Amino acid sequence: MKKREANRRDGAARPVTAAGAMSHGRIISTPDGSPCLDTAQLQLLEHSFREWAEGAVRADVRQSRRRILLIFLLIRYTGAKLNEVLLLDPFADIDPGRQTVCFGPAGSGKEGAAREVTIPESLCREIQAALLDPGFRDSLRKLFDVDPAFVRRKFYERARACGFAKRLGGPEMLRRARAVELMQGNLPLPAVQMLLGHSTPNLTSAYVSFSQEEIREMTRFFMERESARKTSARNAFFGKISAIRQGDIQSRVELITVGGHAITTMITNDSLQALGLHEGMLATAEVKAPWVILLKGTAEPLCSAENRCQGIIARRTMGAINTEYVVGLADGTELCSIAATPDDRHAFAEGDEVWAIFNCFAVVLHIG
């Protein structure tokens, strides 16, 4: 999950470390130790682009800058390559109703299959409003046919204006930063790869049970959750209900994630009926960080907690009262745990192998 930390303006970004580096590297080909912007820094960069675009005095310059802003927003939220965005026809390839952008051969003369990427509702509304502006529509007579070198220069300028090394604002690094952001938000690995247009991963048996349409649906739900942020839960598992065992008062519901984790929750029969839960339904299981307990070691613990995930401490933030641990799991997702700050003898260190455990009553299910 995303780590809370203050914006750093010294030109360096937080690197992906420990377990996260190995997992994210499979997706974005990031060399070990290669940094990219985190969510807070991406937001700062976005704010800089918006101020720059609206700060132009002349109308023609303002419309030109809005086009660069739109190119930035599409890369920032879709993880697309610069050349993919520049080949877009924003009037035909962006579907406001479905909240999707279609990258691919339609109208581009390129071979291969088209790729649909879900975008946040807020971005979709912003694009729609811009395309309805007569002045902006007129500035798009050549669509996004902009010199790539010119776009890169503007990206580098905004990065430097924020105090970052210019290369961190380049299109390729923004694509990598988006991939890491999605992974840290626990969007499943195959969904991130599909969104980025990577070749199909080596699927495990768990992945096989999910269709491409189901993975797209997970991505849509993730985007809505990312935009709304209506929950305080730090941990979210996207998956499919694999089994329901109904009792007199409560029901035991099992969820299998795309990464192969089995998550068990206990809900009342009234909730089961109200949510209309059934086997095969897509759902999200959320767990608050204070409910996740960490146990050091490689051997599976003998305990009554139904949910157990093995991983490595990827990051640690120690406070005077509480400490936040981020555990990197084998499938590349992350799990956050918050506990009272221990003394040095009992603290977990980055790189420690641990089991993250939580009770079935700590899991809350969301659908649709």
Amino acid type, 331: D
pLDDT at residue 11 is higher than 70: no
Q: Are strands 282-287 and 293-296 parallel, antiparallel or unpaired?
A: unpaired
pLDDT at residue 343 is higher than 90: no
Share of the chain above pLDDT 90, in %: 50
The larger pLDDT score, comparing residue 322 to residue 368, is at: 322
Name residues whose C-beta falls within 8 Å of residue 302's C-beta, 6 or more positions apart in sequence: none
pLDDT at residue 17 is higher than 70: no
* Assigned token pair, 157: 């300028």
Q: What is the pLDDT of residues 177-208, one digit of tens each?
A: 998 888 877 777 777 888 888 765 444 444 44
Q: How far apart are the first and last CA of the chain?
A: 21
Average pLDDT over residues 27-52: 77
The larger pLDDT score, comparing residue 14 to residue 240, is at: 240
Query: All domains of the chain, ordered by start, with CATH?
Result: 18-184 (1.10.443.10), 227-286 (2.40.50.100), 288-359 (2.40.50.100)
For residue 295, the cross-strand partners are: 355
Q: Which of 230-234, 237-241, 271-275 comes out lowest in average pLDDT? A: 230-234
pLDDT at residue 26 is higher than 70: no
pLDDT at residue 3 is higher than 60: no
Q: Which of 199, 226, 229, 219 is nearest to 100 (CA)?
A: 219
Average pLDDT over residues 289-315: 93
Max avg pLDDT among 23-32, 149-158, 283-292: 149-158
Global pTM reads: 0.64
Question: In whole numbers, what is the pLDDT of the chain averaged over residues?
Answer: 82
Q: CA–CA separation, 213 vs 221, rounded Å?
A: 12
Confidence of residue 221 (pLDDT cuts 50, 70, 90): confident
Confidence of residue 10 (pLDDT cuts 50, 70, 90): very low
Across the beta sheet with 334-340, the strand order is 293-296, 353-358, 307-318, 322-329, 334-340
E-state strands within the chain = 94-95, 100-103, 115-118, 235-246, 250-257, 262-268, 282-287, 293-296, 307-318, 322-329, 334-340, 353-358, 363-366
For residue 340, the cross-strand partners are: 322
Average pLDDT over residues 13-29: 38
Residue 300, φ and ψ in degrees, nearest 5: -60, 130
Q: Which of 295, 302, 299, 364 is nearest to 325 (CA)?
A: 295
Give the pLDDT confidence score for residue 32 in this predicted structure: 41
Q: What is the pLDDT of residues 67-122, one digit of tens each?
A: 999 999 999 999 999 999 999 999 999 998 888 899 976 444 445 568 888 888 88
Q: CA–CA separation, 315 vs 330, rounded Å?
A: 15
Asked if 351 contacts 18 with a C-beta cutoff of 8 angstroms, the reply is yes
Give the pLDDT confidence score for residue 111 in this predicted structure: 53
Give the pLDDT confidence score for residue 21 in this predicted structure: 36
Q: CA–CA separation, 36 vs 42, rounded Å?
A: 10
Asked if 90 contacts 127 with a C-beta cutoff of 8 angstroms, the reply is yes
The larger pLDDT score, comparing residue 221 to residue 280, is at: 280
pLDDT at residue 364 is higher than 60: yes
Name residues whose C-beta falls within 8 Å of residue 345's C-beta, 6 or more positions apart in sequence: none
Give the pLDDT confidence score for residue 288 in this predicted structure: 92
pLDDT at residue 272 is higher than 80: yes
Share of the chain above pLDDT 70, in %: 82
